[in-house]
Amino acid sequence: MHELVHALDLASGRYNRDYTVRERRATFMQNLWRHDVGSRLRTSYHGRFATLDYQVAAAHGTIAAYANEIFTGAGFPKPPGAPAAASRHSALELRGPSSVARARGEAR
């Protein structure tokens, strides 16, 4: 599943220049699949950075918003607890802070 997201991003022109965004997108779908088959969720990308996007989306009921970003955009919501500057590639963020808050299940 993880590598299929990379393949989709390459084939669709949505390959983000930031490898942490690419890997978080791929790990999100990998974790969605892992959850469905009862496997332990990945919490980091080989210990280099956290990959908790699926866990956050599941907790906030925003899995569809994250998946929509994967299937229509090249970005991804900023990782939990990250400064705003780290998220400048997300199309969700380009639509404004309120859409990000909605996608992340936060009150406006």
Residues that bind Zn ion (CB under 5 A): 23, 26
- The CB density around residue 67, as the number of other CB atoms within 10 Å, is 16
Nearer to Zn ion, 29 or 92 (CB): 29
Nearer to Zn ion, 67 or 102 (CB): 67
SS3 3: helix
Nearer to Zn ion, 21 or 57 (CB): 21
Cα atoms in the 13 Å half-sphere on the side-chain side of 45: 18
CB of 77 to Zn ion, least distance (A): 18
